[in-house]
Amino acid sequence: MPAVDRLLLEEALQDSPQTRSLLSVFEEDAGTLTEYTNQLLQAMQRVYGAQNEMCLATQQLSKQLLAYEKQHFALGKGDEEVISTLHYFSKVVDELNILHSELAKQLADTMVLPIIQFREKDLTEVSTLKDLFGLASNEHDVSMAKYSRLPKRKENEKLKAEVAKEVANARRKQHLSSLQYYCALNALQYRKRIAMMEPMLGYTQGQINFFKKGAEMFSKRMDSFLSSVSDMVQSIQGELDAEAEAMRVSQQDLISVNESVYTPDSDVTSPAINRNLIQKAGYLNLRNKTGLVTTTWERLYFFTQGGNLMCQPRGAVAGGLIQDLDNCSVMAVDCEDRRYCFQITTPTGKSGITLQAESKKEYEEWICAINNISRQIYLTDNPEAAAIKLNQTALQAVTPITSFGKKHEVHHPSQNVKNTANDKIVPSETAGIQDSTQLIAPGTPIQFDIVLPATEFLDQNRGGRRANPFGESEDSSKDEEEDSLLQQMFIVRFLGSMAVQSDDTSEVIYEAMRQVLAARAIHNIFRMTESHLMVTSKNLRLIDPQTQVTRTSFELASVTQFAAHQDNKRLIGFVVHPSETLGEESMSAYIFESNTEGEKICYAISLGKEIIEAQKDPEALAQLMKSVPLTNDGKFMLLNDQSEEDGTIHEQGEESEA
């Protein structure tokens, strides 16, 4: 016999769309089998009815033959031979009637009864288990939706435990019902073959037994065939018994698993996280906007395929593309007071989709997997080894970067510092390669967010003043902005800052970049604060994009080093050495990720420092204003090769004033 298709019981707990799709094929097969069984039963019942009718007809015929003798024919002489002949025929008919009665009884027991039992027992059982599986699946979905809505900020441990227990009970119930349903469908593939052949075997044997007494030759021709059919039925029955025993043992093993299999987020404190994944699949909640302020969350099955994030709803044959992950970035976000939310951002800096994981383990593994895929590791010859190596070095955890190695021999053109002897802005000369411990002290703490001092915050917000990067601030701040000959705004994300021991070379910036990114990867910190970096001819300001409040400000004269990363052009850093304090302990390096190339920010800072120096000499300032294009209001204009993606494009050109 050919192999029988079967559902894998091990996939019942995961309940993936692939399993559901295969399950729908089995359900369709069961539906077709039910319809055909009803039609076949009608035909067999018609045969059985005809055989019963034959019994009644032969019995009536026998009586009628005997009744001939009792008829009072007017001309009845000479009928004695006819009567005796009819008596013989009546006896023959009675004997045939006995055979027909035996055949009718055999057809009822071996043809009609098995097909009725198959329909009422097996097919009805499958239909009942299907309804129970649907109810258990719906109950699990309702409990998961309730669990997903648990608040993160005001977490109620008692409520969480009750909801988690409810999810576990629903998941256990769904698992048990799916196992029973899968076993019934698997057994149906064997039983339907028996159910189709066993009735016909009984029908044929009954007919042969009926004719055997008068047609031995006919029965001999059928003996070998019936014997082979009987052997076949016995063989299938043996396979069914073995498969039923194997499924029973497997079902017991799957039911006796640890309770943590059913409980979501069972190990929050120390989950076993695989950070080297280049493929990932599982259920996530997808955030959909249904209005201006309303959103819905939909639980869907997501999986990665190459560099793409795919989504496959239940019942779908194949998945669809949701997001191209190449060169994307992913970060943890706070969203609607839900736990384990993260957002995928496109290479252009636009916010992509927001997803919610079921547990901390899934949450961190999805973030690590998307980070690995965004670096296009899957295109290498050995993606697993490449992922392990990159995560061990912990150098590419925030954005897709090809290399974080330092290039000591190449000096970046935008790394300019002040030469006090000649009172000009000239490139700084690297006086030899310094050891990393001479640049940054070992164990120096790293700050991953900008904390604004309370006094400075009050000063900036007193009276409701806001710093608007588009030149629309209130009167109290207009004078300060109008005095500045340069205003350029960039969208940046703060990665971290740390104290440094030297500002003599740009190597201190590269070392700070390396340590900040490595620390983010090691400690699994993906959150970044987005700000607007305003570069003027007086200072650098970080502005909150939502409230337009200045988070912090640095005097441009105190910026002693600035440089962009040589490989990842979107990384920018600068060293601040306040003029009012002396000593190396007051120097700090600030590292940012920009939506534009870091060289443009370096050029803007360099131009601002040139303006500061040129303002000391009116002739030098006039010469500088001739060499750089100006806007209509007399401010410097920065000409870029390509359009910015951060909203700095204006209708009358790419002006430096934001």
Total-model pTM? 0.47
pLDDT at 28 over 70: yes
pLDDT at 575 over 90: yes
pLDDT for 281 equals 93
| Chain mean pLDDT for the chain | 78
Residue pLDDT, tens place only, 262-285: 887 777 677 778 888 889 999 999
Name residue, tokens 């370096």. 602
pLDDT for 653 equals 36
More confident: 413 or 166: 166
Question: In whole angstroms, what is the distance from residue 341 CA to residue 332 CA?
Answer: 6
In 288-314, which positions are buried (b, 16+ CB within 10 angstroms) versus exposed (e)?
A: eeeeeeeeebebbbbbbeebbbbbbeb
Would you state the structure tokens that stand for residue 174, as one six-digit string? Answer: 């769904």
In 414-442, which positions are buried (b, 16+ CB within 10 angstroms) versus exposed (e)?
A: bbbbbeeeeeebeebebeeebebeebbee
CB distance 116 to 124 below 8 Å: no
Q: Which residues contact 22 (CB under 8 A, 6 or more apart)?
A: 7
CB distance 329 to 397 below 8 Å: no
pLDDT for 1 equals 55
Secondary structure (H, E, C), 125-164: HHHHHHHHHHHHHHHHHHHHHHHHCCCCCCCCHHHHHHHH
Q: Which residues pair with 59 in a beta bridge?
A: none
Span 383-399, average pLDDT: 61
Percentage of the chain surpassing pLDDT 70? 76
More confident: 490 or 269: 490
Residue pLDDT, tens place only, 350-371: 778 899 998 888 888 998 899 8
pLDDT at 393 over 70: no
